[in-house]
Amino acid sequence: MDDFVELYDLRSGNLMANFDDEREAWDKLRQMAEEFGLEEVGGLGLAQIHGEQSTVIAMEDELVRRVAHAISQEPVVTESRR
């Protein structure tokens, strides 16, 4: 069984990329945030795939927090709509 990591656009439900390992995926997310801003990674999800099983690594706000920490930036604060 192969293990790999998938990056999803949660807004569209589309698979954006597959990575051989989690580190490669985080490197890509840091690059995206540095190039386009943290807002761009807010609607994404990262999952570890092992055979037929999928485990969420991080998504949405948690993913933004982890990327922001990695690039030493504060997460983007948005107003919640009620």
Q: What are phi and psi of 36, to 5 degrees?
A: -115, -10
Give the pLDDT confidence of 31-54 residue by residue, as tens digits. 999 999 999 999 999 999 999 999
User: According to the model, what pLDDT value does residue 80 have?
Assistant: 47
Residues in the chain: 82
Whole-number percent of the chain with pLDDT over 90: 74
CA distance linking residue 8 with residue 69, whole number of Å: 21
Asked if the model's pLDDT at residue 6 lies above 80, the reply is: yes
**Which two structure tokens, joined as six digits, stand for 82?**
């009620």
User: Residues 6 or more apart from 78 whose CB is under 8 A from it?
Assistant: 42
Q: Distance between CA atoms of 53 and 38, rounded to whole angstroms? A: 29
